[in-house]
Copies of this chain bind each other. A is one copy, B any other.
Amino acid sequence: MASESRTFIEEARRAQIIDCAIEALATLGYQQASMAKIAKLAKVTPGLISYHFGGKDELIEAVVAHVVKLATDLMLPRILAQTTATDALRAYFESNLEFMHRHRKPLLALVEIIVHDRDGPYAGQQDTALTDIEKVLAWGQQTGEFREFELRPMAIAIRGAIDAVPSYLLKDPDYDLGGLAAELATIFSLATRRAP
A118, CB-defined interface residue at 8 Å: yes
A150 and B188 within 8 A (CB): no
Across the interface, A156 reaches (CB within 8 A) one of B123, B149, B153, B168, namely: B168
The residue in chain B whose Cβ has the minimal distance to the Cβ of A186 is: B149
- The copy count of this chain in the complex is 4
Number of residues of chain A lying within 8 A (CB) of chain B: 39
Whether, in the assembled complex, A55 has its beta carbon less than 8 Å from a beta carbon of chain B, the answer is: no
- Is the CB of A183 closer than 8 A to any CB of chain B? yes
Neighbouring B residues of A118 by C-beta, 8 Å = 29, 170
Q: Footprint of B on A, CB under 8 Å? A: 29-31, 115-116, 118-119, 123, 126-127, 149-150, 152-154, 156-157, 159-165, 167-168, 170-171, 179-180, 183-184, 186-188, 190-191, 195-196
